[in-house]
Amino acid sequence: MARMPIIAGNWKMHNKRAEAEQLAREVVAATAATTDVEIVLCPPFTSLEAVAKAIAGSRVKLGAQNCHFEEKGAFTGEVSVPMLKELGVEYVIIGHSERRQYFAETDAAINRKAQTLYAHGVTPIICVGETLEEREAGRTAEVVSTQVRGCLAGLPADKVAASVIAYEPVWAIGTGRTATKEQAQEVHALIRKLVAEMFTPDVAAALRIQYGGSVKPENARELMSQPDIDGALVGGASLKAESFAGIVNFNK
């Protein structure tokens, strides 16, 4: 089964409303000719509405960078899935390494967030990845497997099949140091094998696995040519329409 590549821009804590709206309009224009790649923009919460307006009527979809696992309640500073859904959000990044590192997000919390997203028909982009220290200690497979098991444990197979996993080696994020296509492919294949074991081979074959970490127009094509790399989660290079479109149009 052919998996449609999915390229998402994670804007992190960048772009106020006017800048966000402008960038989103530029992305729509620069990617209009590409129909064989799914395109997602994940602005900060405060710019979601402006971006929703800018992408209306285009193929570009809206994503958020986090959510809470409860639907409502006394959780000061948090944002719920129904609140995001109301703004047109179709994807939510969960378990990004920056959230794991600075906000103590755990695999168990990510698992609960995925369940809540599924309940509302929103697709999670579940992030996993090892640190440099873990890679150098030869622990990449063990660390990523533990994360995948913890994040996906007990989730419904049909929902997992339609989900997205992003493999983002922490040492490659914002460092300009991209994983080689071989390094990335090795971990992507491992993740797919693990999902086949946890669920079924069909679930693993349908699941899309993005690579993230210093993806640029110059390396996108090479990474995407790997059999188990189904797209990219892009940080820095998603903040300019030209470079983001250069990644989206990797096949052109």
Q: Which residues are identified as catalytic?
A: 96, 168
Which of 5, 43, 169, 235 contacts ligand 13P by CB under 6 A? 235
Smallest gap, in angstroms, from Cβ of residue 232 to ligand 13P?
A: 8
Structure tokens at 88: 């047109």
Window of 33-41, 66-74, 192-200, 235-243 that interacts with ligand 13P by CB under 6 A: 235-243
In the complex with ligand 13P, the residue whose CB is nearer, 231 or 235, is 235
Window of 52-60, 111-119, 145-153, 207-215 that interacts with ligand 13P by CB under 6 A: 207-215
Which of 51, 54, 67, 173 contacts ligand 13P by CB under 6 A? 173
Number of residues that bind ligand 13P (CB under 6 A): 14
In the complex with ligand 13P, the residue whose CB is nearer, 84 or 127, is 127
CA distance 4 to 208: 8
CA distance 194 to 181: 20
Smallest gap, in angstroms, from Cβ of residue 198 to ligand 13P?
A: 24
Which of 105, 130, 168, 230 contacts ligand 13P by CB under 6 A? 168
Smallest gap, in angstroms, from Cβ of residue 10 to ligand 13P?
A: 4
Q: Which residue is nearest to ligand 13P (CB)?
A: 235
CB atoms within 10 A of CB 25: 17
Contact call for residue 10 and ligand 13P (CB under 6 A): yes
Window of 26-34, 155-163, 220-228, 234-242 that interacts with ligand 13P by CB under 6 A: 234-242
Spell out the residues 6+ positions from residue 35 whose beta carbon is closer than 8 angstroms to its own. Answer: 59
Window of 21-29, 83-91, 111-119, 211-219 that interacts with ligand 13P by CB under 6 A: 211-219
Contact call for residue 212 and ligand 13P (CB under 6 A): yes
Smallest gap, in angstroms, from Cβ of residue 174 to ligand 13P?
A: 4
Contact call for residue 179 and ligand 13P (CB under 6 A): no
Please spell the DSSP secondary structure of the chain, one letter per residue. Answer: -PPPPEEEEE--S---HHHHHHHHHHHHHHHTT--SSEEEEE--GGGHHHHHHHHTTSS-EEEES---SSSSSS-TT---HHHHHHTTEEEEEES-HHHHHHH---HHHHHHHHHHHHHTT-EEEEEE---HHHHHTT-HHHHHHHHHHHHHTT--HHHHHT-EEEE--GGGTTSS-PPPHHHHHHHHHHHHHHHHHHS-HHHHHH-EEEEESS--HHHHHHHHTSTT--EEEESGGGGSHHHHHHHHTTT-
Contact call for residue 15 and ligand 13P (CB under 6 A): no
Site for ligand 13P, rule CB under 6 A: 10, 96, 168, 173-174, 212-215, 233-237
